[in-house]
């Protein structure tokens, strides 16, 4: 009876998509599903199964799900970008499209999971080239390790459906760091947000705080939101004009004008949402004294080392203790992903 029930359920909920690859990585279980020419990259964590990217193998230059198209509105602000940063590789939908229309643009991609890169190459026809590099790194560490600036930064960093954007990638400080990596006056940052996530309101508020202009593009009956943040304003009619010009010169296979229709006219976020900040342990005042004490005692100790007196042994213990305290503060003084809400 039980088996019959399961069989019926399977028939009712038959997924036409077949699992073709499954790869366990340190971050999640990466799956590739196939349904005719449609191929999905899905992330499976604790039983959830989220479609991260979808590609039509017969038509790889047209995004097969809605939100990557919306990110292409960035081209309205920068029709001829020379430097683009993509945060989160997925099935490389955007790098593939951008490379096709902009063969001379430098495209940097940062992706934390080396297995995502492997899957993109093996199952989604992703190829790097001399002007397109994938950096396997945490986005924040990468951002802080570079000095260059970009015309466009595209950020899509959903870890998993119930976690959303990792905490350290949605704080006020990180948003400031991203802003510093944009070309002054012309750069734009595009962030994929989800309206039904509990981090939506605070992320929106942080961007309002950091950037002069913010525009939300929303797919109809969908919770995807693409937030464009930058230094320059455009009216919707200017957006339509630029989209028409660009479509004419670039012969896009996707409809950019249609994306402009998705511009949200009003702010729908909670203005009282908290502004999330990094939680950084501030070393106590006396810590600055410790290295001084350390240096002083080293001199003293070298002097009395040969005497092997009890004082020497006491100081050796003292030294070991201060060293470990310094080490402790150094290690906790970096990024911390624990939640700290500051209103």
Ligand X SMILES: *[C@@H]1O[C@H](CO)[C@@H](O)[C@H](O)[C@H]1NC(C)=O
Which residues have a catalytic role annotated?
156
Query: How far apart are the C-alpha atoms of 147 and 78, rounded to whole Å?
Result: 20
What is the nearest approach in angstroms of ligand X to the Cβ of residue 214?
Answer: 23
Q: Which range of residues in 63-71, 140-148, 250-258, 284-292 is near ligand X by CB under 6 A?
A: 250-258
Nearer to ligand X, 255 or 322 (CB): 255
Q: Which range of residues in 76-84, 252-260, 318-326, 332-340 is near ligand X by CB under 6 A?
A: 252-260
Considering only residues 8, 176, 253, 258, which one is a binding residue for ligand X as defined by CB under 6 A?
Answer: 258
Q: Which range of residues in 89-97, 168-176, 251-259, 301-309 is near ligand X by CB under 6 A?
A: 251-259
Return all residues near 18 (Cβ < 8 A) that are at least 6 apart: 33, 34, 35
Q: Which of 150, 146, 144, 149 minimizes the C-alpha distance to 169?
A: 144
Q: Coil, strand, or helix at residue 120?
A: helix
Query: How far apart are the C-alpha atoms of 96 and 103, rounded to whole Å?
Result: 10
Angle between helices 289-304 and 310-332 (to 10 degrees): 150
What is the nearest approach in angstroms of ligand X to the Cβ of residue 258?
Answer: 4
Sign of CA dihedral 126, 130, 136, 140: negative
Q: Coil, strand, or helix at residue 304?
A: helix
Q: How far is CA 41 from CA 23, 98, 119, in A?
A: 11, 19, 9
Q: Does 149 bind ligand X (CB under 6 A)?
A: no
Nearer to ligand X, 121 or 195 (CB): 195
Q: Does 300 bind ligand X (CB under 6 A)?
A: no
Q: Does 257 bind ligand X (CB under 6 A)?
A: yes
Q: Does 221 bind ligand X (CB under 6 A)?
A: yes
Count of all residues that appear for the chain in the document: 343
What is the nearest approach in angstroms of ligand X to the Cβ of residue 260?
Answer: 8
**224-230, strands of its sheet edge to edge:** 132-136, 106-111, 83-87, 152-155, 188-194, 224-230, 213-218
Considering only residues 25, 115, 128, 255, which one is a binding residue for ligand X as defined by CB under 6 A?
Answer: 255
What is the nearest approach in angstroms of ligand X to the Cβ of residue 52?
Answer: 23
Q: Does 248 bind ligand X (CB under 6 A)?
A: no
x/- string (CB under 6 A) for ligand X, residues 266-295? ------------------------------
x/- string (CB under 6 A) for ligand X, residues 75-94? --------------------
Query: How far apart are the C-alpha atoms of 204 and 231, rounded to whole Å?
Result: 16
Q: Which residues bind ligand X (CB under 6 A)?
A: 221, 255, 257-258, 261
């Amino acid at each position: 009876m039980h088996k019959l029930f399961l069989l019926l359920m399977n028939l009712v909920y038959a997924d036409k998509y077949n699992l073709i690859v499954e790869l366990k990585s340190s971050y999640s279980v990466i799956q590739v599903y196939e349904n005719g020419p449609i191929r999905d990259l899905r992330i499976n964590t604790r039983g959830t199964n989220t479609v991260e990217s979808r590609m039509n193998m017969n038509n790889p230059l047209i995004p097969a799900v809605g939100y990557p198209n919306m990110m292409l509105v960035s081209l309205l602000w920068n029709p001829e970008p020379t430097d683009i940063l993509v945060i989160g590789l997925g099935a490389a939908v955007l790098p593939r499209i951008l490379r096709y229309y902009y063969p001379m643009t430098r495209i940097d991609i940062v992706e934390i999971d080396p297995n995502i890169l492997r899957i993109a190459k093996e199952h989604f026809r992703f190829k790097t080239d001399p002007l397109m590099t994938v950096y396997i790194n945490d986005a924040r560490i990468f951002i802080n390790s570079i000095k260059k600036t970009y015309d466009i930064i595209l950020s899509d960093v959903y870890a998993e459906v119930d976690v959303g954007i990792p905490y350290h990638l949605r704080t006020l400080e990180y948003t400031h760091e991203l802003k510093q990596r944009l070309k002054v006056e012309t750069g734009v940052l595009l962030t994929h947000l989800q309206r039904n996530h509990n981090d939506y309101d605070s992320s929106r508020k942080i961007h309002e705080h950091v950037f002069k202009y913010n525009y939300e593009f929303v797919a109809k009956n969908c919770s995807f939101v693409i937030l464009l943040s930058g230094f320059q304003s455009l009216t919707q009619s200017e957006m339509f004009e630029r989209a028409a010009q660009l479509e004419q010169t670039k012969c896009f296979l996707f409809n950019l004008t249609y994306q402009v229709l998705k511009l949200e006219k009003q702010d729908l976020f909670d203005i009282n949402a908290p502004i999330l900040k990094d939680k950084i342990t501030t070393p106590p005042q006396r810590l600055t004294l410790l290295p001084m004490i350390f240096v002083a005692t080293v001199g003293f100790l070298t002097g009395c080392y040969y005497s092997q007196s009890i004082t020497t042994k006491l100081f050796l213990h003292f030294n070991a203790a201060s060293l470990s305290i310094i080490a402790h503060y150094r290690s906790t003084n970096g990024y911390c992903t624990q939640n700290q809400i500051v209103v």
